[in-house]
Structure 1
């Protein structure tokens, strides 16, 4: 007998519907699973056999052939278990056929209970476009599944899934504990606890308002890590398009908890400097998965002690910093993951950390050591970072003062106002309405400099030896500063402030 059921998986960042064809024929007992499945898929035969028997169903002692179509695309994961088990029950006539378009996702334990799987949201969004109306899946995936328009049928056991199939396909009522809730906030630090560093905090405000990349340069203990950790507290809220994109990525990566639905808070990722290239930008032998760059999409990627990272790993950041995507090519497929993040990096001015310090501690590094240390950061990489902020040591009188400075809530109000201006300006592309992503055409249209601003920028271009990319980034930065001031035209004061945020360019220009 022949039967057909439907499951799904992810292919890159998008969902893919898989038709599970089951055929039961006379012959010696055998289970053949074809369709280019990975190791976890091939092992499903043993899980399904034990789950059917331990759930009180009959396992046919005949020749069983299961095909996962399309057969020319590789499939990974354990989410096909439920569809395979239901296909066997259909082919052996233990349950009746139904006309509804029903998707089935879930991993089976040996006792028949259902375990959660990853990649549910992108799979269900694809199922919607292909006309599916219902989905049966594990209870732990229910909150995420309700972000789609499908009728969600959560099941804790194979028997519960069969009961849905044989009786009613009406979605059961669910309590508040199972509803989708926003992810927890990424930080509890507030800028009001940062003493001094007024110039740096202003630079971070500009970075948050326009989604500009930042590098912090300063001696040990000056507060670089704390300032970076405070940055999420002033970031503007994500719109619905951004939230869905981030939730899809975290779903594929298997980092959505059972009670978390749509992710509302911008991600904050801080990988260790020992991270590999595949872990940072994404990869994998057969079916690539998103890396830290994609997990930081719509949020912040913090790289502490930047020169300690491998140079090859850092150079891999060029594409996502410029294009906002990561492209991974394999022999048969090309995968593209979104990676539009705000990079904030920190480094010391030299290996010992005290080069150029104005306090009593002297630098112990030789010129050659300093040169090798800075050589880990290539010019093209620094060219893609908008703000270069020097973070000096905080004077002791400010530490003793202990007076609260401006809070993150007050700064965030100004950031949100600038975000509103940009949203109106870039309404045609609501997914990422920030100045940092302006195209050449948008630069000419929205970044009109007055005469004094043009002269100042021309002088800086010639004096500092800026590249064309750095020139454009200063213009984008000036546009954000003008937005924070509520100015329609970019003035010389806005350009001058933007140039002040290019500390590393000024050092190169002087040397």
Structure 2
């Protein structure tokens, strides 16, 4: 009998799995128990063919493999490698002592090649936190696995290579990456530049404030006014990810199977733009075996929802909890899974079904307009910090040859504001003003006497809720940070209140 180790993921939470392989006399059979799903049960044929085609003996006896703990659901093909090595160790084709040193992750092809699997980074990270140090992973996953500090990662391309290593016939060196160098190198093409947007100074200023504080924004305007163009340039003015944030995002992308061997570390803030036909599960995550949705894939980045009212009511209302808590909670009978979802929401909408209400050319009836607007509930709108009306661009602005402010210039101002916030929120676990709790708002948002008077008047006139009041203060705090001021003045509150007016919705 041989007992090896693998790991099971439920959300981003990892559980060590004991892979117990017993070979006994009897009719040839291969059974896998321990609550396996279809992909795990199919491992019997993959493992049998891989062992034989790699030149090793597959025992013609009764094989029982138990994946413990037996009450935890096992899914995916990542147990193939542990099962194959367990059979070879139980039949003394590899030394059991050497085989037991490692945690195994990897899928086997019929010819014995080791294929990459999803979720290797969070798996290795979780196992390392539980005291494991040595890992065998596919070559395709080696770079992401080596990102975990304290992990000794060995990569293999085929089963024969792994067996030779366990027998001591060949030597493998731990795969290593320079996290700092990888992080600084970055990735991908250049982002669209802020300077390409003509005019729209008011909208640009509002989005700069939003980027500086991580605030949610609703862009409202007629078709063709540049809402989507503005939104797609917001990632270019956001500050770069910290290494800690990059690792968090990369774990989510690894779990979702969106990491390629070429990109082992996500160094750019995510920008997700799902189609308006996306379901609630696609947006917030879930499914029979919970997977992260778009809100989690946008963690520490931007979620852009174009044609916002066209999303289903169920999908829109499902956004309320992650917008408030910064985490998605998916409850299932077996367990409760939590995915991080601290993102900046950018939504774009037309003022009416035809889109031309603000220009006086609307062909919609009052009933159509009311029905269209009712798709966005009051509690959902209350979770936006900034409302921006995007007017049609004038000819003079389009024809102007003057060079506009670039993304790099705006990003420097945003970085300075974020640096003040990071200093302010040191050791609190948050990174920007939008994530402040009500208690932190009271602590960090110090207003002048005149600013308090203005806010008191506006509170009654705009009929602000307690949540809306806090959001005004958060935006005012960000505006003050952009100006380098520790105290929130009347001007800062006035600008924040201007963004709070729900124009046309």
> TM-score normalized by structure 1?
0.95
Alignment-derived partner of residue 448 in structure 1: 446
2:257 to 254, 259, 271: 254
State how far apart, in whole Å, the 1-side matches of 2:171 and 2:154 are: 7
- Change in Cα spacing, 1:126 to 1:184, as seen in structure 2 (3 Å) is same
Please say if residues 4 and 19 of structure 1, whose CA atoms lie closer than 8 Å, have aligned partners that are also in contact. yes
Alignment-derived partner of residue 133 in structure 2: 133
Deviations 1:60-107 (A, max 9, x none): 000000000111010111000000000000001111122563111100
Alignment-derived partner of residue 351 in structure 1: 353
Bigger drift between 74-83 and 234-243 goes to 234-243
1:341 to 340, 343, 346: 343
Please say if residues 147 and 177 of structure 2, whose CA atoms lie closer than 8 Å, have aligned partners that are also in contact. no
State how far apart, in whole Å, the 1-side matches of 2:277 and 2:133 are: 45
Bigger drift between 182-191 and 69-78 goes to 182-191
Deviations 1:269-308 (A, max 9, x none): 00000101111110111x2010111111110000000011
State how far apart, in whole Å, the 2-side matches of 1:487 and 1:108 are: 59
Bigger drift between 157-166 and 36-45 goes to 157-166
Moved >4 Å (runs of 4+): 172-176, 179-183
SS at match of 1:356: helix
Alignment-derived partner of residue 435 in structure 2: 437
Alignment-derived partner of residue 120 in structure 1: 120
Deviations 1:233-254 (A, max 9, x none): 0111112221111111001000
Alignment-derived partner of residue 189 in structure 1: 192
Aligned residue pairs total 499
Cα distance, 1:188 vs. partner? 2.0
Cα distance, 1:151 vs. partner? 1.6
Cα distance, 1:324 vs. partner? 0.4
Deviations 1:146-202 (A, max 9, x none): 1012222111101111122122665257799xx956663476211101000111111
Please say if residues 101 and 131 of structure 1, whose CA atoms lie closer than 8 Å, have aligned partners that are also in contact. no
Please say if residues 90 and 96 of structure 2, whose CA atoms lie closer than 8 Å, have aligned partners that are also in contact. no
- Change in Cα spacing, 1:221 to 1:303, as seen in structure 2 (3 Å) is same
Bigger drift between 393-402 and 418-427 goes to 393-402
Please say if residues 153 and 175 of structure 2, whose CA atoms lie closer than 8 Å, have aligned partners that are also in contact. no
Alignment-derived partner of residue 57 in structure 1: 56
SS at match of 1:32: strand
> TM-score normalized by structure 2?
0.96
State how far apart, in whole Å, the 2-side matches of 1:138 and 1:170 are: 13
State how far apart, in whole Å, the 1-side matches of 2:504 and 2:174 are: 65
- Counterpart mapping for 1:65-104 below 5 A: 65-98=64-97, 101-104=101-104
- Change in Cα spacing, 1:332 to 1:25, as seen in structure 2 (3 Å) is same
Please say if residues 236 and 407 of structure 2, whose CA atoms lie closer than 8 Å, have aligned partners that are also in contact. yes
Deviations 1:405-449 (A, max 9, x none): 10010000000001110001001134x311011112211111011
Alignment-derived partner of residue 153 in structure 1: 154
Bigger drift between 221-230 and 494-503 goes to 494-503
SS at match of 1:428: coil
SS at match of 2:358: coil
- Counterpart mapping for 1:224-263 below 5 A: 224-263=227-266
Alignment-derived partner of residue 406 in structure 1: 405
**Structure 2 unaligned regions, length at least 5:** none
Please say if residues 298 and 341 of structure 1, whose CA atoms lie closer than 8 Å, have aligned partners that are also in contact. yes
SS at match of 1:73: coil
State how far apart, in whole Å, the 2-side matches of 1:180 and 1:15 are: 25
Alignment-derived partner of residue 222 in structure 2: 219
Cα distance, 1:261 vs. partner? 2.0
State how far apart, in whole Å, the 2-side matches of 1:68 and 1:393 are: 62
1:476 to 470, 474, 477: 474
Cα distance, 1:10 vs. partner? 1.2
State how far apart, in whole Å, the 2-side matches of 1:503 and 1:390 are: 10
